[in-house]
Amino acid sequence: MRRFLLAGIVLIAVLALLPFSFHAERHLETATRIDGSEAGKVPQELATRFHSPFVDRVVLVIQGLPPADSEEGEKALAGIEQRLQNEPGVSGVVSYLDFRDPIFLGKGGGTFILVGLAPTDGPVESLVPELHELENSLENELRGRYPKVKLELSGDTPLNFDIRKTSADDVRRAETLAIPATLALLLLAFGTVVASLIPVVIGQLAIASALALAGFLALRWHLSILVQNLSTMLGLGLGIDYALLMVSRFREAIATGQNQFTCSSIAARQAGATLLVSASTVAIGFVALLTVPISEISSIGIAGFLVAGTSLLLSVTIVPALLGILGPRINAGRVPFLANWDARRAARTEYRWRRWGKVVVAHPWLAIFLAGTPLLLLAAQAARLDTNVPRGDWLPLQAESVQALHTLERMDRVGMVYSLRVILELPTDSITQTDAGWNALDRFSKRLASDHRASRVISLTTVADGNRSQLPNIPRDTRRALLSRDGQAALVEVLPATSLGLNGQVAWVRELRKEGAPTLTGVPGAALRIGGVPALIADYQTIVKDRFTPVLELVVGGTLIALLAGFRSLFAAIKAIALNLLSVAASFGALVLVFQEGHGIRWFGVPDGTGSIFPIVPIVAFAIVFGLSMDYEVFLVARVLEARRSGMSEMDAIPEGVARTAGLITSAAAIMIVVFAAFTFGNFLVIKMLGFTLAIAVFIDATIVRIVIGPALLRVAGDWNWWPGGLPKAPGTRP
């Protein structure tokens, strides 16, 4: 009775959360936040110390109008600028009208307007739809006179807005592909509609619960939009797999003719203990990600922890209660072409897997050699993993912000989006009030401008043509953007050459930071802080590189403790960790061959090899794969341990464990692979890479590792498998 009461409470709580899951993505962010990073401090300083109207900004790209330096072009530009200045949330506007500067005259025609944003209510992204409406309105007004006019928004904020939309579209597309395929696999596994529907429903409830909880957490903490993708991906995988194990155990018990409530208790006790160990190992990986001070990565840690927790909770409360109510009706709704065949197939499948297990334990060293050699060769490719920025058009091409970005590239003005925002601070001299301060800024600006990697440098001295007497003629908003209120810090905006590329810009940021302000300015005690997209990427890569080893140590150490507590066996725990490391390394090797080098990459909708892998992918994939792979190890070892405790010898117990779990492992793995593979068909390249890595890792782990190498190592170890816990002399309680 208590079990049903608990299941009822959990069900009510989940149903109460459902309405909050539908729009949880509205509270999730697309901008990357790095706690304590230099690049993250620059916009904060521009807002608080400079009171700059251009801390957050967009670029309005304009084509199809007369040249901006013509009388007619100036008139059209003035009308656009006036409308922008009157738009709520717009804090500043700069165009060719404000500075007769060639920077606003793009190659091949066209111009742009720099628009500062300062929302009064909500995140800066909330202004993007209103700006799109204004943009469309202006286009319609101008089209009568200028038929080829085209206005497009780009910049960090519009790009983030479009990435959010792409992320949501990818989730819907993946669910559309994964759910029918998953249901078909479950029908093949169970042969009945009722048994097949339960895991699918649990998976959906796990997703909804995790998203709703994440939405509440996002009201207090910064959570990334990747929470939406990962919650769906992992919810379908873990939720379905956990419920699948519970249903399988129940059907196995009900087939013996026992009372349905007794069978429900048996399934809850046996499968529940296995799931607790499994979910613990999965959760450890996600908890480790919380230690990385990058919003995207820590958000994935939160999403994974929530999904693992809700999947476990639903599977050990609602599922057993539902199974107890259904009883033999769990086999209702048999699929016609699977009727009668299902029972025979199950018996034949167990017989074949048992024979396979006997072959492996009879020749363990040969099995290890034949299966391990190709895996080691594939794992060796992981040593060539490159975590620089991938080359090519990896942003969603159909998005307006991306199209505008390419327009800026053709105009040779893409640096307006990828600029380095350098704050130079002098120890004592005022930049505008003393010759020493002014000259230091002028030297610094000229030194940067002389570098071939710079397309243009914009600072107070360049705007004033090096003449301090011109300061009164500079518009107020421009002075606020380029000079701090105390006069001791100045913003130097560096537009990188288009040919440099993001990786070149990142390398330049690192070089400037290494040289330091005293060397670059000739002023002892001077300091510089570099922000902008290239600086953010540099900080991102550095933190991921520095935190990867601690995350690995935390995951491995935590998993070792969880497995020791679950199995009371040192060898079983160490073996599981070693095999998991092999699976992860092999999946990284496949990622290098396919995505980085481009072998077969066209199958995933990517035209060519990316040359490198997003830095987020290896650290996140490691944390996820390590936990997911452990599921199948737990399933197998738990059944072998059960057989040994029932009195079987090692030679018989291992084939018995394989026979009892191989079908379940292959079914569960097939579902995981389908779910992860569905995300490789989206438009979000980082999710493509992650989905591919997870799918390959699960495939390798559920086939070569757990069905060949794992049983062979159990045979080689013999009774050492169960040291120091040992085996009870009499049959004990099943795990």
Amino acid at 132: H
- For the stretch 217-247, pLDDT in tens is 888 888 877 788 788 888 888 888 888 888 8
* Helix (H) / strand (E) containing 24: none
Q: How far is CA 99 from CA 177, 264, 302, 463, in A?
A: 52, 77, 47, 8
Give the pLDDT score at 728.
55
- Give the max Cα distance, the chain: 98
66 prior amide bond cis, ω within 30: no
pLDDT digits (tens, 9 = 90+) for 475-511: 887 888 899 988 889 999 999 988 888 889 999 999 9
Q: How far apart are CA 386 and CA 435, in angstroms?
A: 47
CA angle 571-289-171, nearest 5°? 110
Same fold, 1-30+191-339 and 51-159: no
CA neighbours within 13 Å on the CB side: how many for 267?
34
The DSSP letter of residue 597 is: T
Task: HSE, CB side, 13 Å, CA atoms: give it for residue 122.
Answer: 10
Average pLDDT, integer, range 526-534? 92
Closest CA to 211 of 24, 15, 28, 19: 24
Structural domain boundaries in the chain? 1-30+191-339, 51-159, 342-384+550-735, 419-531
Q: What is the pLDDT of residue 725?
A: 65
Supply the pLDDT for residue 734. Answer: 40
pLDDT top residue among 61 and 632: 61
pLDDT at 340: 53
- Please tell me the predicted confidence (pLDDT) of residue 573: 83
Phi, psi of 290, rounded to the nearest 5 degrees: -70, -15
- Per-residue model confidence (pLDDT) at position 222: 81
How do residues 537-550 score in pLDDT, each as one tens digit?
999 999 999 999 99
> Quick one: pLDDT at residue 735?
36
- The percentage of residues in the chain with a pLDDT greater than 70, rounded to a whole number, is 96
Q: Which of 318-332, 348-362, 384-398, 538-552 has the lowest mean pLDDT?
A: 384-398
pLDDT, tens digit, for every residue of 332-348? 887 776 555 455 666 77
pLDDT > 80? residue 142: yes
pLDDT, greater one: 316 or 160: 316
Indicate the pLDDT class of residue 45, thresholds 50, 70 and 90.
Answer: very high
Distance CA 304, CA 286 (A): 6
Q: What φ, ψ does residue 599 adopt, rounded to 5°?
A: -75, 110
pLDDT band at 575 (very low <50, low <70, confident <90, very high): confident
Query: Would you say 94 and 184 are in contact if contact means Cβ atoms under 8 Å apart?
Result: no
Task: List, in order, residues 6 or more apart from 588 with CB less than 8 Å away.
Answer: 379, 381, 382, 385, 618, 621, 693
* pLDDT attached to residue 29: 74
Report the relative pairing of strands 90-94 and 111-117 from DSSP bridges. antiparallel
Fold of 51-159: Alpha-Beta Plaits (3.30.70)
pLDDT at residue 457, as a whole number: 92
| Of 658, 664, 660, residue with least CA distance to 360 | 658
Look at 277 and 418; give whichever has higher pLDDT: 418
Q: How far apart are CA 622 and CA 544, in angstroms?
A: 12
Which superfamily does 1-30+191-339 belong to? Multidrug efflux transporter AcrB transmembrane domain (1.20.1640.10)
Q: What is the mean pLDDT of the chain?
A: 86
Cβ atoms of 28 and 223 closer than 8 Å: yes
Q: In what order do the strands lie in the sheet with 454-458?
A: 454-458, 489-496, 420-425, 527-531
Q: What is the pLDDT of residue 333?
A: 82
Q: Which pLDDT does position 733 carry in this prediction?
A: 40
Label residue 732 by pLDDT band (50, 70, 90). very low
Contacts of 416 (CB under 8 A, 6+ apart): 59, 112, 114, 155, 408, 495
CATH architecture of 342-384+550-735: Up-down Bundle (1.20)
> Measured between alpha carbons, how far is 464 from 202 in angstroms, rounded to an integer?
65
Convert the pLDDT of each residue in 643-692 to its tens digit. 888 888 888 889 988 888 888 788 888 888 988 888 888 778 888 898 89
Average pLDDT over residues 573-578: 86
Higher local confidence (pLDDT), 109 or 732? 109
Check if the beta carbon of residue 544 is closer than 8 Å to that of residue 37.
Answer: no
Of 1.20.120, 3.30.70, 1.10.10, 1.10.3210, which CATH number belongs to 419-531? Answer: 3.30.70
Rounded distance between C-alpha atoms, residue 112 and residue 92, angstroms = 14
Task: Summarize pLDDT for 203-221 with one digit per residue, the tens.
Answer: 999 999 998 998 888 888 8
Query: What is the dihedral sign for C-alpha 652, 654, 655, 658?
Result: positive
For residues 283 and 279, what is the distance between their CA atoms, to the nearest angstrom? 6
